[in-house]
């Protein structure tokens, strides 16, 4: 029975060229446009708070003062380290960046008799944060070094004019070291592939769920339910079909990403498959939930466009979440785009082991099961008058 | 096991209410094995509700439905029924063969018999050469044939047809009934709801009329005619000029039963006769003896149309 439901859906898809184009070509076109724009580093937005940690390798009063001053900066959010009692090390900071806990690690150094220097360890997926934090650190470092120089002058009591060393314009430059994507062929594009893929998964699932309403409107559903087919089988058949189609859709998308934009799909196949299976399943359940919630196909179309676009915008499918304020980012966690993208981010960008995907997998699976159960409950009204 | 003396369908005291609306108010009737039963009623009489109860699409509030002696709720019993809905409940973006295949599978046709059943259905519907075409592009009559075939892919012993000929031309209707006659000859019992009274009269063995959720008549066409409008024929006459006075006709029992027909100033009139052989000549003689010539005459036998209107009235039921 379930196989037959899948067969119907597949055959109907094959007969509908418009649906085929919408399923496979339009997402790729959108992805390509987004990848071309954002992959080239164009398109930054307003400056939200950047999550940072500071590693004070200098451990001087001046470096401490500089870090304290940075802590008061409204554009930065200092995150607590794993062990707040111990001074943070460069290694710990690098790990925190790789895990996505912070975006930037500020490393402050000072050799004997030399001015302070700083470098930034950065997650290059946030193309804005590094530049902004570099400017802030550079400014604070210049102030700190100037104060230090003035103090030294007072100690040796030399006439100020002759003793001040010429200002080196490069002295306060803060180098940015990418700890994430330096070995990757085209690291940022995988994020956009995931973002666009999840958005179109949702569109595809809500469109597919609409077939149920179409069947109801033309009384085919009535006829189907007068055969040996049950509502459970019908919904499960449609869910399997939509999940399978979504999975293939995302695979095609990433294959395209690998071929054209150099996304490393084969190197992350296990994590990709786990995330894609769960995300496709959740999106399919969401589509069926919306379909059973609505009374007509028109109602579904309107609602799904609004919901999917809103979820995609909030969840990071359209604009990277690091460009959003902390409040918006928190709001984004109510969308499963955000959870799915966080999962893909861990797989493709942070190279984290698949065990670390459990929160994303659990949330998406939970959402999928919940949507499916609610859809089943809503469909009771169609079973009998 | 099917017993010969058990009705194919037995409906007892069936009631269905939607809130305060009583759609069925204690319906009782039987459909015998191999019988073709026409189920008539004005709009809103409860026909579709009854079909939905039979197809398991709505739960009766009260009453019993037995299929070949077994309660319809018993496992597997509903497989004996085949529903052909009023609407074209097909996948218009699947081909004829694909539609037939999926509905056969939903009806539980075993995989090994699938090909043979689909082939049979294609031949039966006369659509073998259109098997690979999308149903959406078919004419209304062709879609109706596919709609019918999809409901009988599992060889049901009872076929429920809810207005199967809506919106099709006379040729297609004829074809659909020929297809149904085929199934009937193979032993299937047929319950047909329709608004085409001539169809019901010609294509059924028995007629049940439902009105306001109740069965108001049940029998063969002759039985219904005798019970309602009676067997007399209606005679319509037109004479060569307007009558100056009514025409007097003697009754069949003799001149003591004289009656008058027509009215002064009119050249047309109607009357009823019980015996065509004797009463017609008596009527013609009376007209001629009154000095008129018959320009035209029509004799109408009582039909289901007259019975239906007699029982359900002339008021609209929209």
- Give the pLDDT of residue B315: 62
Bridge pairing between strands B268-273 and B254-261: unpaired
In this prediction, the answer to ipTM > 0.90 reads no
Asked whether the beta carbons of residue B107 and residue A220 sit closer than 8 angstroms, the reply is no
Interface check for B108 against chain A (CB to CB < 8 A): the answer is: yes
Mean pLDDT of B103-114: 93
Asked whether the beta carbons of residue B58 and residue A11 sit closer than 8 angstroms, the reply is no
Q: A137 and A62, same structural domain?
A: yes
The fold of the B233-301 domain, in CATH, is Alpha-Beta Plaits (3.30.70)
Provide the pLDDT confidence category of residue B108 given band limits of 50, 70 and 90. Answer: very high
Phi and psi at residue A46, to the nearest 5°: -70, 170
Interface check for B113 against chain A (CB to CB < 8 A): the answer is: no
Mean pLDDT of A40-58: 66
Higher model confidence: residue B179 or residue A26? B179
Number of residues in chain B: 318
Nearest residue to A57 via CA among A123, A122, A105: A105
Q: A272 and A318, same structural domain?
A: yes
Nearest chain A CA: its distance from B106 CA (Å): 6
- Give the pLDDT of residue B9: 93
- Give the pLDDT of residue A172: 66
B89 interaction partners in chain A (CB closer than 8 Å): 218-220, 222-223
Query: SS3 for B279?
Result: helix
DSSP B177-227: HHHHHHHHHTT-EEEEE-S-HHHHHHH-SEEEEEETTEEEEEE-HHHHHHH
B90 interaction partners in chain A (CB closer than 8 Å): 220
- Give the pLDDT of residue A168: 54
pLDDT per residue over A306-323, tens digit each? 788 888 878 888 877 776
A220 interaction partners in chain B (CB closer than 8 Å): 89-91
Nearest to B90 among A220, A225, A384 (CB): A220
Q: A166 and A203, same structural domain?
A: no
Mean pLDDT of B234-238: 91
B18 interaction partners in chain A (CB closer than 8 Å): 385
Strand ranges for B203-289 from DSSP E:
206-211, 214-219, 233-239, 247-251, 254-261, 268-273
Asked which of A155, A178, A201 is the last residue of a domain, the reply is A178
Query: SS3 for B48?
Result: helix
Q: A223 and A151, same structural domain?
A: no
Task: Count CB neighbours of A200 within 10 A.
Answer: 27
Q: Is the pLDDT at A157 greater than 70, yes or no?
A: no
- Give the pLDDT of residue B25: 92
- A363, two tokens: 């949330």
Strand ranges for A281-380 from DSSP E:
none
Strand ranges for B57-179 from DSSP E:
62-67, 70-71, 81-84, 158-162
Interface check for B105 against chain A (CB to CB < 8 A): the answer is: yes
Q: A105 and A56, same structural domain?
A: yes
Nearest to A385 among B57, B79, B89 (CB): B57
Mean pLDDT of B71-79: 89
Q: What is the CATH number of the domain that holds A130?
A: 3.40.1710
Nearest chain A CA: its distance from B38 CA (Å): 21
A218 interaction partners in chain B (CB closer than 8 Å): 87-89
pLDDT per residue over B153-172, tens digit each? 999 999 999 888 888 888 88
A224 interaction partners in chain B (CB closer than 8 Å): 106
Worst-scoring range by mean pLDDT, A159-173, A263-277, B259-273? A159-173
Nearest residue to B41 via CA among B302, B317, B231: B317
Nearest chain A CA: its distance from B181 CA (Å): 23
Q: What sign for the dihedral angle of Cα A93, A97, A103, A109?
A: positive
Q: What sign for the dihedral angle of Cα A184, A266, A30, A32?
A: positive
Nearest to A228 among B85, B107, B134 (CB): B107
Interface check for B57 against chain A (CB to CB < 8 A): the answer is: yes
Nearest chain A CA: its distance from B85 CA (Å): 7
Asked whether the beta carbons of residue A225 and residue B94 sit closer than 8 angstroms, the reply is no
Interface check for B19 against chain A (CB to CB < 8 A): the answer is: no
Identify any residues that bridge with B95 across adjacent strands, giving them in sequence order.
B134
- Give the pLDDT of residue A163: 47
Mean pLDDT of A112-125: 80
C-alpha distances (whole Å) from B99 to each of B83, B132, B149 are 15, 10, 10
- Give the pLDDT of residue A43: 40
Q: A233 and A87, same structural domain?
A: no
Q: A116 and A58, same structural domain?
A: yes
Q: A88 and A224, same structural domain?
A: no
Q: A98 and A140, same structural domain?
A: yes
Q: Is the pLDDT at A184 greater than 80, yes or no?
A: no
Q: A346 and A200, same structural domain?
A: yes
- Give the pLDDT of residue B317: 62
Separation of alpha carbons A373 and A119, rounded Å: 52
In the block, residue with structure tokens 């007399």: B232
Provide the pLDDT confidence category of residue A65 given band limits of 50, 70 and 90. Answer: confident
Higher model confidence: residue A167 or residue A188? A188
Asked whether the beta carbons of residue A228 and residue B94 sit closer than 8 angstroms, the reply is no
Interface check for B72 against chain A (CB to CB < 8 A): the answer is: no
- Give the pLDDT of residue B1: 46
Higher model confidence: residue B312 or residue A163? B312
Quick one: angle between helices A358-383 and A231-261, nearest 10?
A: 140
Asked which of A178, A201, A230 is the last residue of a domain, the reply is A178
Cβ contacts below 8 Å, chain A against chain B, sum to 61
Mean pLDDT of B59-73: 92
Separation of alpha carbons A227 and A238, rounded Å: 17
Q: Is the pLDDT at B289 greater than 70, yes or no?
A: yes
Q: Is the pLDDT at B258 greater than 60, yes or no?
A: yes
- Give the pLDDT of residue A44: 40
- Burial of A163-178, coded b for 16+ CB within 10 Å and e otherwise, reads eeeeeeeeebebeeeb
Separation of alpha carbons A182 and A95, rounded Å: 15
Mean pLDDT of A32-56: 61
In chain A, the number of structural domains is 2
Q: A262 and A209, same structural domain?
A: yes
Which residue segment(s) compose the domain that A310 sits in? 2-41+185-383
Higher model confidence: residue B309 or residue B36? B36
Worst-scoring range by mean pLDDT, A242-251, A361-370, B307-316? B307-316
Rounded (5°) CA angle B132-B134-B136: 155
Provide the pLDDT confidence category of residue A275 given band limits of 50, 70 and 90. Answer: very high
**Every domain range in chain B assigned CATH 3.40.50.300:** 9-227
Interface check for B313 against chain A (CB to CB < 8 A): the answer is: no
For residue B39, the surrounding DSSP H or E stretch is: strand B36-40
Asked which of A178, A210, A244 is the last residue of a domain, the reply is A178
Nearest to B83 among A4, A16, A223 (CB): A223
Phi and psi at residue B154, to the nearest 5°: -95, 15
Instruction: Assign domain B9-227 to a CATH class.
Output: alpha beta
Separation of alpha carbons B29 and B9, rounded Å: 8
Higher model confidence: residue A130 or residue A32? A130
Provide the pLDDT confidence category of residue B256 given band limits of 50, 70 and 90. Answer: low
**Sheet strands side by side (includes A76-78):** A76-78, A50-56, A104-109, A117-122, A176-178
For residues B58 and B18, the answer to whether their CB atoms sit within 8 Å is: no
B52 interaction partners in chain A (CB closer than 8 Å): 385
Q: Is the pLDDT at A159 greater than 60, yes or no?
A: no
Q: Is the pLDDT at A239 greater than 80, yes or no?
A: yes
In the block, residue with structure tokens 């769960």: A278
A222 interaction partners in chain B (CB closer than 8 Å): 57, 85, 89
Asked whether the beta carbons of residue A227 and residue B18 sit closer than 8 angstroms, the reply is no
- B168, two tokens: 């099709």
pLDDT per residue over B186-199, tens digit each? 999 999 998 888 88
Please give the mean pLDDT across all residues of chain A: 82
Q: Is the pLDDT at B279 greater than 90, yes or no?
A: no
**Every domain range in chain B assigned CATH 3.30.70:** 233-301
Q: Is the pLDDT at A162 greater than 70, yes or no?
A: no
B93 interaction partners in chain A (CB closer than 8 Å): 12, 15-16
In the block, residue with structure tokens 């059924």: B204
């Amino acid at each position: 029975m379930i196989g037959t439901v899948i067969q119907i859906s597949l055959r109907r898809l094959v007969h509908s060229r418009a649906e085929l184009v919408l399923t496979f070509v339009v997402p790729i076109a959108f992805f390509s446009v987004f990848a071309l724009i954002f992959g080239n580093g164009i398109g930054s937005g307003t400056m939200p708070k950047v999550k940072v940690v500071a590693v004070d390798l200098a451990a001087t009063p001046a470096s401490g003062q500089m870090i304290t001053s940075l802590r008061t900066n409204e554009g930065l959010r200092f995150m607590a380290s794993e062990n707040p009692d111990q001074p943070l090390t460069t290694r710990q900071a690098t790990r925190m960046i790789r895990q996505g806990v912070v975006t930037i690690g500020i490393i402050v150094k000072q050799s004997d008799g030399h001015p302070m220097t700083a470098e930034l360890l950065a997650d290059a997926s946030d193309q804005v944060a590094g530049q902004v934090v570099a400017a802030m650190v550079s400014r604070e470092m210049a102030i700190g070094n100037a104060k230090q120089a003035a103090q030294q002058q007072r100690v040796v009591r030399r006439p100020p004019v002759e003793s001040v060393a010429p200002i080196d314009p490069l002295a306060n430059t803060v180098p940015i070291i990418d700890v994430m994507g330096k070995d990757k062929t085209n690291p940022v594009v995988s994020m956009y592939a995931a973002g666009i893929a999840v958005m179109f998964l949702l569109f595809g699932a809500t469109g597919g769920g609409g077939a149920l309403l179409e069947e109801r409107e033309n009384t085919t559903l009535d006829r189907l339910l007068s055969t040996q087919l049950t509502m459970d089988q019908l919904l499960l058949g449609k869910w399997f079909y939509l999940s399978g189609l979504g999975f293939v859709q995302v695979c095609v998308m990433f294959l395209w990403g690998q071929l054209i934009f150099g996304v490393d799909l084969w190197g992350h196949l296990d994590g990709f498959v786990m995330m894609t299976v769960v995300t496709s399943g959740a999106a399919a359940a969401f589509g069926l939930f919306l379909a059973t919630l609505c009374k007509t196909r028109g109602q579904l179309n309107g609602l799904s466009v609004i919901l999917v676009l809103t979820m995609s915008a909030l969840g990071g499918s359209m604009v990277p979440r690091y460009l959003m304020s902390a409040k918006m980012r928190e709001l984004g966690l109510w969308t499963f785009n955000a959870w799915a993208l966080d999962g893909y981010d861990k797989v493709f960008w942070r190279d984290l082991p698949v065990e670390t995907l459990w929160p994303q997998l659990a949330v998406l699976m939970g959402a999928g099961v919940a949507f499916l159960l609610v859809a089943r409950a809503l469909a009771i009204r169609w079973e009998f008058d | 096991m099917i017993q010969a003396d058990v009705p194919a369908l037995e409906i007892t005291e069936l009631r269905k209410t939607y809130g305060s609306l009583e759609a069925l108010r204690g319906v009782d009737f039987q459909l015998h094995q191999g019988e073709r039963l026409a189920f008539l009623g004005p709009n809103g009489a409860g026909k579709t509700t009854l079909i939905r109860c039979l197809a398991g699409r709505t739960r009766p509030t009260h009453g019993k439905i037995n299929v070949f002696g077994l309660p319809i709720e018993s496992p597997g019993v509903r497989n004996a029924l085949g529903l052909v809905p009023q609407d074209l409940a097909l996948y218009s973006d699947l081909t004829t063969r694909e539609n037939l295949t999926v509905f056969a599978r939903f009806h539980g046709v075993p995989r090994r018999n699938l090909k043979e059943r689909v082939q049979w259905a294609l031949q039966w519907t006369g659509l073998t050469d259109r098997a690979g075409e999308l149903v959406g592009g078919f004419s209304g009559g062709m879609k109706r044939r596919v709609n019918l075939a999809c409901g009988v892919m599992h060889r049901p012993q009872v076929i429920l047809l809810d207005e199967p000929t809506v919106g099709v031309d006379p040729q297609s209707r004829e074809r659909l009934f020929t297809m149904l006659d085929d199934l009937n000859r193979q032993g299937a019992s047929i319950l047909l709801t329709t608004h085409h009274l001539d169809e019901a009269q010609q294509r059924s063995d028995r007629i049940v009329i439902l009105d306001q959720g109740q069965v108001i008549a049940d029998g063969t066409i002759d039985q219904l005619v005798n019970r309602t409008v009676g067997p007399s024929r209606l005679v319509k006459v037109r004479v060569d000029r307007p009558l100056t006075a009514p025409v007097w006709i003697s009754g069949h029992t003799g001149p003591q039963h004289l009656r008058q027909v027509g009215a002064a100033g009119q050249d047309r009139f109607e009357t009823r006769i019980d015996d065509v052989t004797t009463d017609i000549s008596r009527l013609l003689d009376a007209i001629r003896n009154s000095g008129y010539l018959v320009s035209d005459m029509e004799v109408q036998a009582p039909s289901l149309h007259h019975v239906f209107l007699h029982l359900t009235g002339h008021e609209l039921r929209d």
